[in-house]
Chains A and B, each alone.
Chain A
Amino acid sequence: MIVADRKPLAEILEMIKEMNKILIIGCKGCVTVCNVGGAKEVGILASTLKIARKKEGRPIEIDERTIERQCDPEYIELVKGDVDKYDGVISMACGVGPQFLSQAYPEQRFFPAVNTTFFGGAVQHGIWEERCAGCGTCVIHYFGGMCPIARCSKSLLNGPCGGSAGGKCEISKDVDCIWDQIVRKKMEQGRLDDLLDVKPAKSWTTARDGGPRKSRREELVQ
């Protein structure tokens, strides 16, 4: 899923400082699963903002909505007629949501309440980790089911570099060296031979480097 973190309260307060009436729209997709932008978090943000503004002596009126997804025009359509009643609208979806909203309702201003961080999953309750860089050409099967592009700090296809120590990456003791894990898994499986060749340079044409991307499924296009 797409993982996100909520922006600091001060940053959100700054976005809406001129406004007296806003709408916060949550999303029931990925951001609900990673506990950052679903109905519950919309409620918490609304209450927090109201308290903060009340303290400042400038109370704010906030309505809440949470829709199925903010990355689909059919759900974006559902807030039609609502969004123009507010001074501004905060989206708690990933970066896709406020963009779809902005495009659908060009008269209104939409503000992101979360920082979209990565494609990943929960490794334990409350902790999410990056797993995929969305490079457009998956190669994890060469590396014991682990992605060095997303998970090695240098995206090495021929690791590990000389900075790997104690299973940790040179950049931080909080970061696992994925190449350490790849090598150890291959050794345990008796498949070290898989790593005894030089992986050629990757084509990044399918990644973001090749320009903004689009998927087109002819059978679905009407």
Chain B
Amino acid sequence: MNDLKSGSNLEKVLRAGHFAFTGECGPPKGANLEHLKEKIAPLKGMVDAVNVTDNQTAVVRLSSWAASSIMLQEGVEPNFQMVCRDRNRLAMMSDILGVYAMGIRNMLCLSGDHQRFGNHPEAKNVYDIDSMQLIALAGKMRDEGKFMNDEEIDVPPRLFIGAASNPFAEPHEYRVYRLANKIAAGADFIQTQCIYNMDRFREFMKRVVDMGLHEKCYILAGVTPMKSVGMAKYMAKSVPGMDVPDSLIQRLQGAGKGKVAEEGIKFALEQIQEFREMEGVAGVHLMAIEWEHKVPEIAERAGMLPRPKV
């Protein structure tokens, strides 16, 4: 890890050895720029980069590259997300070039939720390549300066390449190997699924460290504060691959009326404190879903401010 691969702020923060802090922003269901800018504004200066989701949960939204570009204009560094569900390899390579040309420097490669979840379940499911192959493709375009077919690229896109890992999906024992494959494919950084089961995450990270994976890639722990008991129960029951322990649900229930959201934030803050100490964890990815305006408060209370200038 000598020369910068992309020169993104996120890459520089991580390379300088700071504990990174990233946020997330879902583009609007429409071309409502004002709404998008309202969601971006509270994130400015609070995080090192912000993930811009790509038709998340397979619901049509303003495109992730366009929202990333607007975010950049607003002075916030985007982490452009790309899923494999909606684009074939031509569109992917074209969009990778496009976002780079627009000044975007981070990209997160994902499989994407199946369209059956979304608002157009009738859609054709593309999956020309998978997330592992997308990581490798973005890496090849950057490091070899070539398209998938080995043709030369006239000015290759130099992106900091991210991927996701879900330590809680099954089979559990395989998850660390799949992470290793993503790193072998060329992932520079990893953002994990939202963590609630800390015991399981500690075990996962122990294996990551034992295998030395944290030395090959930056691992950011995923945190989503619970806003309500209903949200916790929904995530526990209805979101595949999510592990919400009963003890957390009971803790939120015990907080009393009007105090559940605060309890959710307290749990998130405790998590962040632990992640800062945990071997192999290079940062936190805060996914405050439709709660962007709470990010400054969480960042402040977590002691993540001011963000490093690198």
A-to-B contact residues, CB < 8 Å: 153-168, 170-172, 177, 180, 183-184, 187, 192, 195-202, 204
B117 contacts partner chain A, Cβ-Cβ < 8 Å: yes
Within 8 Å CB of A192, what residues of B?
Answer: 174, 177
23 contacts between A and B (CB under 8 A): A153-B116, A154-B130, A155-B130, A156-B130, A157-B132, A157-B133, A158-B130, A158-B131, A158-B133, A160-B174, A160-B178, A161-B111, A162-B111, A162-B165, A162-B169, A165-B240, A165-B241, A177-B170, A195-B174, A198-B133, A199-B132, A200-B136, A201-B137
Bound complex: CA A68 to CA B170 (Å) = 47
Is there contact, CB below 8 Å, between A154 and B129?
no
Within 8 Å CB of B148, what residues of A?
Answer: 201
Is there contact, CB below 8 Å, between A197 and B181?
yes
Is there contact, CB below 8 Å, between A154 and B127?
yes
Is there contact, CB below 8 Å, between B169 and A163?
yes
- Shortest CB-to-CB span from A135 to chain B, Å, is 12
The 7 closest A-B pairs by CB, nearest first: A162-B166, A158-B132, A170-B240, A163-B240, A156-B130, A201-B133, A201-B129
Bound complex: CA A172 to CA B114 (Å) = 11
- Shortest CB-to-CB span from A184 to chain B, Å, is 6
From 118 to 171 in chain B, residues with beta carbon under 8 angstroms from any chain A beta carbon are 125, 127-133, 136-137, 148, 164-166, 169-171
Minimum CB distance partner of B83 in chain A: A154
18 A-B pairs besides A170-B240, A201-B136 with CB distance below 8 A are A156-B131, A157-B132, A160-B171, A163-B241, A164-B240, A164-B241, A165-B240, A168-B240, A170-B113, A170-B241, A180-B170, A195-B181, A196-B177, A199-B133, A200-B133, A200-B136, A201-B128, A202-B129
Interface residues of A: mostly helix, strand, loop or mixed?
A: loop
B132, B148, B171 — most chain A CB neighbours (10 Å): B171
- Shortest CB-to-CB span from B81 to chain A, Å, is 14
B217 contacts partner chain A, Cβ-Cβ < 8 Å: no
Is there contact, CB below 8 Å, between A198 and B136?
yes
Is there contact, CB below 8 Å, between A196 and B130?
no
Task: Take A165-B169, A197-B181, A201-B89 as given contacts and tell me if A171 and B116 are in contact as well, using a CB distance cutoff of 8 Å.
Answer: yes
Bound complex: CA A170 to CA B241 (Å) = 8
Minimum CB distance partner of B192 in chain A: A162
- Shortest CB-to-CB span from B239 to chain A, Å, is 9
Task: Take A163-B240, A196-B181 as given contacts and tell me if A180 and B171 are in contact as well, using a CB distance cutoff of 8 Å.
Answer: yes
- Shortest CB-to-CB span from A201 to chain B, Å, is 4
Task: Take A153-B125, A171-B114, A198-B185 as given contacts and tell me if A161 and B169 are in contact as well, using a CB distance cutoff of 8 Å.
Answer: yes
B59 contacts partner chain A, Cβ-Cβ < 8 Å: no
Is there contact, CB below 8 Å, between B117 and A171?
yes
Bound complex: CA A199 to CA B182 (Å) = 11
Is there contact, CB below 8 Å, between A157 and B130?
yes
Bound complex: CA A168 to CA B173 (Å) = 16
Is there contact, CB below 8 Å, between A160 and B127?
no
